[in-house]
Homo-oligomer: A and B are copies of this chain.
Amino acid sequence: MKDHQNIINNIKRYVPLDENDEKQFSSIVRTTKVKRRQFIVQPNFVCSHQTYVVKGAFRSYFVNDDGIDHTIQFAIEDWFISDFNSYINQTPASLFVEALEYSIVQQISFGDVEELCGKNPKFERFFRLVAQKSFAYSQRRVLSNLGKSAEERYLEFQELYPSIVQRVPQYALASYLGMSAEFLSKIRKRLASKS
Show the binding face of A for B, using Cβ within 8 Å: 62, 64, 68, 70, 72, 84-85, 88-89, 117, 121, 124-125, 127-128, 131-136, 138-143, 145-147, 175, 178
A132 B131 Cβ-Cβ under 8 A: yes
B62, B70, B142, B178: the one contacting A141 at CB < 8 Å is B142
A84 B135 Cβ-Cβ under 8 A: yes
Distance to closest chain B CB from A40 (angstroms):
17
Q: Contacts A131-B132, A131-B135, A138-B135 given; indicate if A147 touches B84 (C-beta within 8 A).
A: no
Closest B residue to A127 by CB, please name it: B128
B178 A136 Cβ-Cβ under 8 A: no
Closest B residue to A175 by CB, please name it: B146
Counted per complex, copies of this chain come to 2
B124 A88 Cβ-Cβ under 8 A: no
Residues of B within 8 A of A136 (CB): 84-85, 88-89
Residues of B within 8 A of A72 (CB): 139, 142-143
Residues of B within 8 A of A145 (CB): 142, 145-146, 178
B84, B127, B139, B146: the one contacting A85 at CB < 8 Å is B139
- The 29 listed contacts between A and B (C-beta, < 8 Å) are A62-B143, A64-B147, A68-B147, A70-B146, A72-B142, A84-B132, A84-B135, A84-B136, A85-B140, A88-B136, A89-B136, A121-B121, A121-B124, A124-B124, A125-B128, A127-B128, A131-B134, A131-B135, A134-B135, A138-B138, A138-B142, A141-B142, A142-B142, A142-B145, A145-B145, A145-B146, A145-B178, A146-B175, A146-B178
